Copies of this chain bind each other. A is one copy, B any other.
Amino acid sequence: MSVNVKLLLTGLLACSMALQATADPLPSWNDTHAKTAIVEYVASVTDPTSEQFVPVAARIAVFDNDGTLWSEQPVYFQLTYALDTLKEKAKKDPSLINSPALKAAAAGDLKTLMAGGMSGLQEVINASHSDMSVMAFQQSVKQWLATARHPKTNMRYDAMIYQPMLELLSYLRDNSFTTYIVSGGGQQFIRAFSEKAYGIPPQQVIGTALHAQYELIDGKPQITKKPDVSFLDDGPGKPVGIATVIGKKPIFVGGNSDGDFEMLEWGSSNELPSFGLIVHHTDAKREFAYDRDSHIGKLDKGLKQASSRGWLVVDMKEDWAKVYPKTP
């Protein structure tokens, strides 16, 4: 390369860095402490002259999905998918509804279903999520997303993603972080929309998984989803999922419920400078307000310990100028 070209390229690089430094990377965040804390952290770990500097290979950021990247009320959207799918299936073959839990689910009677605990829920998940190929399942999720509407907002479920978190994901990626989803929700469910919604490709989605099996159907190989959970990516399962799939400790962890507590704790134990972020749902008007007493996304332990552990609690009402991309 000639010296002139080198000079030109150096100039271009300096120019692009200067632009990055002046443009607001988080326009949907209000100018409160939360935004400042995030920007200061990212600036320090990406500054090669800083003692806080973190090499690119270690810039791993992990985010919960339900309640952290998209809404989760009045019930996890994936549960709504399961109930809708079950109802559709029951129309075609009523004999599928062969237990009290499935009967409650098909009738939309969530109260009875939830009262039955995990085994009833597992029946519903099995009946709606298994005995089909991963490809057919994801096709079904995409179809559901295209037609289903949220009962409160009447929006598509995948439009109920948080604009400030989309900006945070992009901001981190622009600073050479690799962004992962680590969700208690289904891994293959999230993969059906994560790339389009969040710019997060399949290989960066870790989630709860059912058993899976390699099969030849009419000579064609497929991965078939089988009943029952093989890996529960929640609570202490989240750091295990991270250790298994990524094999590195994250430096940036975002969550919203006590199911993210261990993942936050795991990130904070990194020897490198780390950042923990909890989305606190305080905005009943624009989204939902809930924490300690919620049956979905319960946040109690995290809220109590956030301050002593140095985690940022994002107050949705105060810190976010905007909630969803398509609403004011």
Complex interface: stretch among A121-129, A144-152, A213-221, A291-299: A213-221
Contact A221 B5 (CB under 8 A): no
Interface members, chain A 253-306 (any B CB < 8 Å):
262, 265-266, 269
Q: How far is the CA of A188 from the CA of B213 in the complex (A)?
A: 23
Q: How far is the CA of A245 from the CA of B236 in the complex (A)?
A: 19
A201 — which chain B residues lie within 8 A by C-beta?
57, 247
Q: Is A50 at the interface (CB under 8 A from chain B)? A: no
Given A220-B269, A223-B239; A246-B12 close (CB under 8 Å) = no
A262 — which chain B residues lie within 8 A by C-beta?
214, 221
Contact B212 A248 (CB under 8 A): no
Q: Is A102 at the interface (CB under 8 A from chain B)? A: no
Q: How far is the CA of A202 from the CA of B205 in the complex (A)?
A: 16
Contact B212 A240 (CB under 8 A): yes
Contact B134 A243 (CB under 8 A): yes
Q: Is A308 at the interface (CB under 8 A from chain B)? A: no
Q: How far is the CA of A201 from the CA of B237 in the complex (A)?
A: 22
Selected contact of A243 from candidates B57, B205, B223, B236, CB within 8 Å: B223
Copies of this chain in its oligomeric complex: 2
A240 — which chain B residues lie within 8 A by C-beta?
212-214, 223
Interface members, chain A 126-145 (any B CB < 8 Å):
134
Q: Is A244 at the interface (CB under 8 A from chain B)? A: yes
Q: Is A8 at the interface (CB under 8 A from chain B)? A: yes
Q: Is A209 at the interface (CB under 8 A from chain B)? A: yes
Q: How far is the CA of A269 from the CA of B223 in the complex (A)?
A: 12
Q: Is A191 at the interface (CB under 8 A from chain B)? A: yes
Nearest Cβ in chain B — how far from A321, in angstroms? 32
Contact B8 A1 (CB under 8 A): no
Q: Is A153 at the interface (CB under 8 A from chain B)? A: no
Nearest Cβ in chain B — how far from A204, in angstroms? 9
Contact A236 B220 (CB under 8 A): no
Q: Is A203 at the interface (CB under 8 A from chain B)? A: yes
Nearest Cβ in chain B — how far from A139, in angstroms? 14
Q: How far is the CA of A20 from the CA of B201 in the complex (A)?
A: 29
Contact B8 A203 (CB under 8 A): no
Q: How far is the CA of A178 from the CA of B223 in the complex (A)?
A: 22
Q: Is A179 at the interface (CB under 8 A from chain B)? A: no
Q: A186-218 interface mask toward B, CB cutoff 8 Å, 1 = contact, 0 = none? A: 011001000000000111010001001110000
Given A8-B5, A214-B262; A202-B239 close (CB under 8 Å) = no
Q: Which residue of B lies closest to A242 (CB)?
A: B223
Q: A221-240 interface mask toward B, CB cutoff 8 Å, 1 = contact, 0 = none? A: 10100000000000011011
Contact A265 B221 (CB under 8 A): yes
Selected contact of A214 from candidates B1, B8, B239, CB within 8 Å: B239
Contact B8 A212 (CB under 8 A): no
- The 6 A-B residue pairs whose C-beta atoms are closest, nearest first, are A202-B247, A214-B236, A223-B243, A214-B239, A203-B246, A212-B240
Q: List 17 A-B contacts (CB under 8 A).
A: A1-B12, A57-B201, A134-B243, A188-B247, A201-B247, A202-B247, A203-B246, A209-B244, A212-B243, A212-B244, A213-B236, A213-B240, A214-B236, A214-B237, A214-B266, A220-B269, A221-B239
